[in-house]
Amino acid sequence: METILSVNNISKHYKTITALNNVSLTIPKGSVFGILGPNGSGKTTLMSIILDILKADSGTYNWFGNSNQAHERKKIGSLLETPNFYHYLSAVNNLKITQAISGRGSIENLNEVLSTVNLLERKNSKFSTFSLGMKQRLAIAAALLGNPEVLLLDEPTNGLDPVGIAEIRNLIHSLSNKGITVIIASHLLDEVEKFCSHVAILKKGVLLTSGPVNEVLLNEEIVQVSATNLAQLKNCLVEMGGYTLLKEEGDLIQIHFPIGTANLEAINQYCFNKGITLQLLFNKRKSLESKFFELTND
């Protein structure tokens, strides 16, 4: 897969604080890449460096495999903080001002980006009449001026209600389907899991892990089982072996296996041969949230 961005040993210090410590990662073209971490993990610092807003103390980054980063910047749209839109102006007039100041795109491009974020029918409505979700979509429309190949979003769903979050999630899916690479910095882990194809997890400036979401999540398999006699079932599973962890969770038992070793048919057959009929048997994928807190827990 073609690489859209390479980050090589980036470090950044603020006096005694290490914001980033030798961070290296690659972002594939066409991916929805989530940069995750709690507050203070270095997400925004990393985004600011790759947008050339901040200078790294050491390390390099490379967009599109091209050393002329100033030229490549035109292919990148970004939303690090909400633009200062005028509340008394319409959506389209606010975008006209943004276009004139930034020099990105053209007047003809305005209707296109408004349509992309599903605001074309409200183009003449005042910004003050918009919901928070609509305001955020208008901000993303501003970042889309000039038809960028890459879009960087810092906490795009922060402060939104469930409806607004769903709107942004659907928009990100739509942009990805058009071939735009989307890079998102966020701490809303469960939400990011729903629309990211790749993920990197930062903690106190250190990159803990990165890769396709499924690979990051599935470094082990978790199988949940249940039967009428839970104590008998537990003894049976202990005899069976092959797992790394076995624990009771309410009225079921959770079994952890090394990746690729959980065989549900074999578990069912083993229990059946021991006279136990399973009432529940399924492979539960570890959530990104549980994985995140497992990695970042002190």
Q: What does the DSSP 8-state code read for residue 285? A: P
CA distances from 159 to 132, 136, 195 (A): 8, 10, 18
pLDDT of 4 reads: 94
CATH architecture of 219-296: 2-Layer Sandwich (3.30)
pLDDT tens string 1-26: 799 999 999 999 998 899 999 999 99
Mind listing the pLDDT tens digit for each residue in 219-235? 678 899 999 999 999 99
pLDDT score at 285: 65
pLDDT grade for 69, boundaries at 50, 70 and 90: low
For residue 279, the model assigns a pLDDT of 93
Please tell me the predicted confidence (pLDDT) of residue 99: 92
Q: Which fold does the domain 3-216 belong to in CATH?
A: Rossmann fold (3.40.50)
Token readout for 130 is 């918009």
Neighbours of 151 (CB within 10 A): 22
**Any idea where the domains of the chain sit in the sequence?**
3-216, 219-296
Contacts of 242 (CB under 8 A, 6+ apart): 257, 261
pLDDT in tens, 157-169: 888 888 999 999 9
Torsion of CA 187, 193, 197, 201, to 10 degrees: 40
Tell me the C-alpha distance between 204 and 199, whole Å: 17
Closest CA to 253 of 272, 266, 274, 271: 271
Running DSSP on this structure, what letter comes out for residue 128? Answer: G
What does pTM read for this prediction?
A: 0.78
The arithmetic mean of pLDDT across residues 202-218, rounded, is 85
